[in-house]
Amino acid sequence: MINLLIFSDSSVTQQSIRNTIGEHPNIKIVGEPTSEQKTIELAIKLKPDVMVINFETPSMNRLKTLQKILSGASLPIIVISNSSRFDTETIKAISFGAVDFIPIDLHNHKEDLINKILYWGNRNIEHTLQYPKGTNSSIPSFLSHLTSEIGLIVIGTSAGGPVALLTLLKSIKELNCPMVIAQHLPKNFTKLLASYLHVETGLNIVEGQHGLNLYPGLIAIAQGGIDSFIQEDQQGNIILQEKIPSDLYCHPSIDTLFESAAHLSKPVLGIILTGMGTDGKLGARAISNTDNTIIAQSPATCMVDTMPKTVIEDGHATYVLEISEIAQILLKWCAFK
């Protein structure tokens, strides 16, 4: 049985969460506080398996509440957010330690919310993230030489991605090739993520758009809710294209992005970071089978390790590295000299 604590000052949203969960046999709501202080007290006292916080309204400082909860209790926190003006809080909440989020229109995300509550509740993880952030470790000798110049970097990530991406991108500088990132997010959230990462890192980071020319130094966050793929024109220009999602569950699809990148005439570097599920397995296989390089984040350093672990077990991870090592490789292989 998963013990769930819900924090919301909106009775409408509280009822919506309750209705969404319904009489699920494996989820028990153990508390529904409506004040910050009571929420902190119950989180520490009850030690629930997972917690849901409603970020719909701005009347209380949820970020301070989040920090206080995590300072006193170790538990997975899922954020409920709308998809407009308060998204900045959602992105910051994930960066501060929330493990996941759900858009406010719960009637369209009922199964998603239940699955995430069950997943995070069953994991019973130690919540504080410990991504390697230092640059003291030396580059492994077998990675210090590159025979061909990288033409494109593609990155795939899901749960835990915003934290991993921020850590990685803060550790590099402008690169001599473009980068496209597929982070599983709903529509409207990727524009905010791109803006947030741009401000935090100073790099040229934008939300991807259909027909976007991918030039050196540009980092494009594939648009949420739809799929992106790569095309190369007759002049060798690399173009980002978009298409209506297939029946795949997660968007933007990492497999779709990676499989399209595998056909470029230029060398491609694929990177699989923290994430839930198997998206990226087929794409990594396609890149590996065209004699290109795949780096998987070390599972021990992931918030959720199933995505990189799946690629590793499939035998198509050329290297398995920590975030700090991946950053060093990007600087060694792809930075402007």
Known catalytic residues are 158, 184, 279
Q: What is the dihedral of CA 200, 204, 210, 216, to 10 degrees?
A: -140
Q: What is the DSSP string of 166-189?
A: HHHHHT---BSS-EEEEE---TTH
**Cα–Cα distance for residue pair 250/245, rounded to 1 Å:** 9
Token pair 């990594």 in the structure block, residue: 284
Kindly give the residue spans of alpha helices, DSSP state H, lying in the chain: 11-21, 36-46, 62-72, 87-96, 110-123, 161-170, 189-201, 254-261, 281-289, 306-313, 323-334
Helices (H) and strands (E) in the chain, counts: 11, 15
Judged by DSSP in three states, 151 sits in coil
Task: Report which of 109, 111, 40, 121 is spatially closest to residue 81, judged by C-alpha positions.
Answer: 109
